[in-house]
Amino acid sequence: MNWDVPELPLDERMSENFALLILAGPNYDTEREPLAWIGRPATRNAKDFEVQSGQPRLVQAWRAAIDEAASNAGRPLTDVGYLIHDAGKASDAAGKRIATLGQALGEPLPEFDILKQGFNNTALMGDTGAGTALTNVALAIAYAHHKGTSVLVAGTAEADTAAAVVVTPPARARVFDPAKDWFRARGERNAYLPWWGLRRDVDWSRYRQGYSE
């Protein structure tokens, strides 16, 4: 669980965030389909690497962290189809973070475009503080669940540390149809309802998009 209001005492800000994840392992029968699977996170520090030609230490750290995160999720890195990160915007530090991520992903995924295939959460919401990591994981769960593709979550907040986790889709993804209504967009009360995996004993076609019970 995370909760943060970085701009307090100001309220109703984009940066306000709260996320609660209820986790279960693959051998625990919840009688529901999983929303997604979260691999074990991986972290690497730039100081643990030697400077190499064309390979800054932080880039090496990112590659190692990303490779381990994909391995922990049981998927090849080439399965990753989307990136969610917290590089931010409008600063030299943000530009360096994005460039480092791009270089780290460029060799193993030469056709991956981090601008078109990525979501820079803090560029939109602002500094989400202590809630950044879990909010990004929650977004990755939603993307993996509705798009059926693996998502890399990259935590760039610490200047010399690479933090990565890969979220993978369930065997039965609930693909989102943008032409149909989205239940949780029908009002504030609906938006804050818990999001459960769909029960196995019901006909999925009876549910509106975004609804679960």
Ranges of each domain in the chain: 31-176
**CATH dotted code for 31-176:** 3.40.47.10
| Inter-residue contact 121 to 136 (CB < 8 Å) | yes
Over residues 86-100, the mean pLDDT reads: 89
CB count, 10 Å around CB of 56?
16
Q: What is the pLDDT of residue 122?
A: 85
114, pLDDT greater than 80: yes
- How far CA 12 is from CA of 5, 7, 30, 134, in Å, comes to 9, 9, 35, 20
186, pLDDT greater than 80: no
CA 56 to CA 117: how far, in whole Å? Answer: 24
Tens of pLDDT, residue by residue over 4-49, are 777 677 777 777 777 888 888 888 988 888 999 999 999 999 999 9
187, pLDDT greater than 90: no
Percent share of the chain, pLDDT over 70 = 94
Task: Give the confidence band of 188 by pLDDT, cuts at 50, 70, 90.
Answer: low
Higher-confidence position of 171 and 97: 97
Residue identified by tokens 């049981």 is 74
